[in-house]
Amino acid sequence: MGKIAAAIAKGAFWPICAALFALSSETLAETATPDNWQLAQPATVSLSDEALEAVHQDIESGRYGYIDAFLVARQGKLVFEQYYEHDYPSIYRQEAATPGALVVNDPSGPYNYFNPWWHPYYRNTALHSMQSVTKSVVSALVGIALSRGEFPDLDTPVLQFFDETVVENVDGRKRDMTLRDLLTMSDGLLWDESLPYNDPDNSFAIMAKAHNWVQYTLDLPMGNEPGNVFNYNSGATLILGHIFRLATGTDIEEYAVEHLFTPLGIDDYYWDRTPYGLTDTQEGLYISARSLAKIAQLFLQKGRWQDEQVIRPHGWRNQLRHSTRLASRMMRPTDICGGLNLIHLGEKQSEHTLAKGLADKDRSFCQI
């Protein structure tokens, strides 16, 4: 129980959609629920009922902040599931009406992160904001498109998809920036998202005030050689989403429905748009906690869900590991780094993959 509670205590802030521990990829035959989850009692997969119940009680008491859902999957089965209600209209009434970077220029819309009509749930439904976990879904979709021959080689230059004459601050470094650099957030663009998101100097907050987020990000000057330094950049994933549409001829939302959501049995979702009308690939996805657990299980099972190979693991997993090593060169072994829009916690004995969506450094919307 101590390890489970400690894991939550390290990263579970407000409001979490799913604290999910998918601990083994082995799947046992059992009757599936209507949404294709197999259910089991914790004891049947060597988990302690008492430990899980203790964590549940801690969450319910408010020990870990505003957690909305707690799901545990093991051996391909859902073994624990609890939901927690919070009166967000009352909790964030003052913040929702206070001008600031998190409210931006959209006090009643989706980019006011304290507006309970949009956050953390979509319009009083069970669809929860994924925030930056959206980026990990985008990574999976790029992997699917690559395996189908519908997406360019990752070493293709980014500017190949744009009219260079209308892009600002073009130099040799920007011309060398590739799709791989966008995926690994080693693009080299001059961007600082390390500040709290309610800080007006945060690069994301500045971008959010622009009409065309892709153009704003692409126009930034270069701060580093691409491919050398990991620097978390939400704008990079927006550029990637735009390129996805240009390269495949399909909007990434439509592609997700056909090639990811439908195979997983995810038929209820919402995907927000940027002010310019593009699919918001850096934070715009809303799905249920169970749907998020399916995506985590898919990653755990090397791209396989039940009898279907949704993502072909050949090459993509190697790309992930290669990109993670690249990203971690400039970081301490205990730091987090990003590889193909997934976050990795470096340890000597094991490798963990984490998808985490943040509103700011103290508030997490969603975590796997």
pLDDT means per 10 residues, the chain with 368 residues, are 37 44 43 81 95 97 96 94 96 85 73 89 96 94 94 97 97 98 96 91 92 97 96 97 98 98 96 95 97 93 90 64 48 40 43 46 43
Q: What is the pTM of this model?
A: 0.84
Q: Phi and psi (nearest 5°) for 88?
A: -65, -35
User: Are 51 and 59 contacting, i.e. CB atoms less than 8 angstroms apart?
Assistant: no
Q: Phi and psi (nearest 5°) for 39?
A: -105, 150
Distance, in Å, from the CA atom of 360 to the CA atom of 129, rounded to the nearest integer, reads: 14
DSSP 282: T
* pLDDT score of 110: 83
DSSP 260: I
Q: Domain coordinates of the chain in residue numbers?
A: 121-354
Q: Which of 230, 154, 158 has the alpha carbon at shortest distance from 191?
A: 230
* pLDDT score of 102: 72
* Best CATH choice for the domain 121-354 from the list 3.40.710.10, 1.10.599.10, 3.40.50.970, 3.30.1330.20: 3.40.710.10
Provide the 10 A C-beta neighbour count for residue 137.
22
User: Are 89 and 115 contacting, i.e. CB atoms less than 8 angstroms apart?
Assistant: no
114 token code pair = 């304290």
254 token code pair = 């439509």
* pLDDT score of 137: 95
E strand residue ranges, 123-191: 128-129
* pLDDT score of 351: 45
Q: Side chain identity at 13, as an amino acid letter?
A: F
Partners of 285 in beta bridges: 271
* pLDDT score of 27: 35
